[in-house]
Amino acid sequence: MTRIAVIDYDMGNLHSACKGLENAGATTHVTDVAADLEKADAVVLPGVGAFDPAMQHLRSRDLIDPIKHIITSGKPFLGICLGLQVLFDASEEGKEPGLGVVSGTIKHFRHEPGITIPHMGWNQLELTQPDADLWQGINSGDWVYFVHSYYAAPTDPSVTAAAITHGSQTVTAAIARDNLMAVQFHPEKSSTVGLKILANFVQLVKNRQLAVSL
């Protein structure tokens, strides 16, 4: 059995993410308890909303240090949307410090003629780490669904696993580093491409389970 803990910190609807993971053969457990994260085979941090409330909710549940520990332990970890942004040092959206597990800042899209902010709707991925585990069966040019006004700007550009272009700006759409993965888009709302990405995450968790058992 592959057990995935999905962190509940009052920042978004968790049902669709859980359903996508379950369709790929995982058992999900929605929780805000640190001990549950330790017992799980992998952890997913989804999120919709604003940066400061997200960090405040994580802090109020005493989840900041446990999340950092999970990531440094090597356990597979997937952030989604706001769950990507809080991994960084800080955000132009607010004043709270982020988790700081990825160096960089969350920035606001520049206003320019002909683009809408928030960036809402379908956009095409440009895979910058095409061999990353999340992208098995995924190609540059595949469409995924976004809703965001802010984007991640990593200090180290090599952590970017995929990018998108909005207006004249090409920005990070996903990151990958060792066991840590995160996407700005919503795979649970991205039709067959998004479900394949979630299935890829479940498969890499299963592969890790198998490797550990040998």
pLDDT in tens, 38-84: 999 999 999 999 999 999 999 999 999 999 999 999 999 999 999 99
**Sequence-ordered strand ranges (E) for the chain:** 3-7, 27-31, 42-45, 77-80, 88-91, 102-108, 119-124, 126-127, 143-148, 150-154, 160-166, 169-177, 180-183
Active-site residue among 57, 81, 119, 166? Answer: 81
pLDDT band of residue 183 (cuts 50, 70, 90) is very high
Q: Read off the DSSP letter of residue 179.
A: T
Contacts of 204 (CB under 8 A, 6+ apart): 76, 133, 134
How far, in Å, CA of 145 to CA of 75, rounded? 27
18 catalytic residue (yes or no): no
Active-site residue among 18, 57, 166, 188? Answer: 188
Residue 152 has pLDDT above 90, yes or no: yes
Kindly report the CATH number assigned to the domain that includes residue 30.
Answer: 3.40.50.880
Give the domain extent around 144. Answer: 3-213
Active-site residue among 57, 119, 166, 186? Answer: 186
pLDDT of residue 116: 94
84 burial (CB, 10 Å; 0-12 / 13-18 / 19+) is buried
How far, in Å, CA of 26 to CA of 44, rounded? 12
Over residues 149-176, mean pLDDT: 97
Residue 214 has pLDDT above 70, yes or no: no
Provide the domain count of the chain: 1
pLDDT of residue 21: 95
